[in-house]
């Protein structure tokens, strides 16, 4: 059984990336109100061997833009991972939203059987589009989005489930 890959991807990415923008805005306000140095929260992590908040945002962004491009058979946009501040992360998320929304549904709908290849960790991974989205991209995307939320919550930022989920 196939599904509408566009509806299962682009609107989901947009909703979550917009929610992440809201969570980051709350984090910046929290840091300002408590006079926390500007680099502390962006460099926070849950555990020493885990990625920082900045890297979690970058990876979530990469999954959204990469998946959208691959489902449409397009080249994946390459962006430098140079963000260090909340403002720079907001710009990154805006670019991600703009990109995924720029891909017409007609380029993704009906591509459930498209071959998808990518290199991750130095290894080539080959997928079929529908399981690529459902079993690889979405779990990874939500994992990294969840880590953004968890890092901020563990640092006292007052965010809740509604902040994480965002507006449908």
* pTM for the structure as a whole: 0.96
Residue 37: CATH number of its domain: 1.20.120.450
In a domain, 21, yes or no: yes
The per-residue pLDDT for range 7-18, each reduced to its tens digit, is 999 999 999 999
Residue 1 has pLDDT above 80, yes or no: no
d(CA 168, CA 165): 8
- What range defines the domain where residue 72 resides? 10-165
In a domain, 17, yes or no: yes
Return the structure tokens found at 152.
Answer: 């901020």
In a domain, 114, yes or no: yes
Compute the C-alpha angle 74/136/98, nearest 5°: 40
Average pLDDT of span 36-49: 96
The per-residue pLDDT for range 66-97, each reduced to its tens digit, is 999 999 999 999 999 999 999 999 999 999 99
The beta strands (E) that lie in 29-161 are given as 115-120, 123-128
In a domain, 149, yes or no: yes
CB proximity list for 62: less than 8 A, separation 6 or greater: 79
In a domain, 4, yes or no: no
d(CA 54, CA 84): 7
In a domain, 3, yes or no: no
64 confidence band (pLDDT: 50, 70, 90): very high
The per-residue pLDDT for range 94-152, each reduced to its tens digit, is 999 999 999 999 999 999 999 999 998 899 999 999 999 999 999 999 999 999 999 99
In a domain, 118, yes or no: yes
What is the number of domains present in the chain?
1
In a domain, 125, yes or no: yes
* Residue 126 falls in which region: left (phi positive, over 0), alpha (psi -120 to 50) or beta: beta
């Amino acid at each position: 059984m196939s599904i509408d890959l566009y509806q299962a991807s682009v609107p989901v990415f947009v909703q979550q990336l917009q929610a992440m923008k809201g969570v980051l805005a709350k984090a910046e306000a929290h840091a300002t109100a408590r006079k926390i140095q500007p680099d502390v929260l962006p460099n926070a992590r849950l555990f020493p061997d885990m990625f920082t908040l900045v890297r979690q945002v970058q990876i979530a962004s990469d999954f959204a833009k990469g998946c959208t491009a691959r489902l449409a058979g397009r080249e994946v946009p390459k962006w430098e991972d140079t963000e260090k501040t909340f403002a720079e992360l907001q710009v990154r998320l805006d670019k991600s939203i703009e990109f995924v929304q720029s891909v017409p549904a007609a380029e993704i709908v009906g591509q459930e059987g498209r071959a998808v290849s990518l290199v991750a960790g130095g290894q080539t991974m080959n997928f079929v589009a529908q399981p690529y989205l459902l079993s690889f991209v979405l779990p990874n995307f939500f994992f990294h989005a969840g880590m953004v939320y968890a890092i901020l919550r563990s640092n006292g930022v007052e965010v809740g489930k509604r902040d994480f989920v965002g507006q449908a």
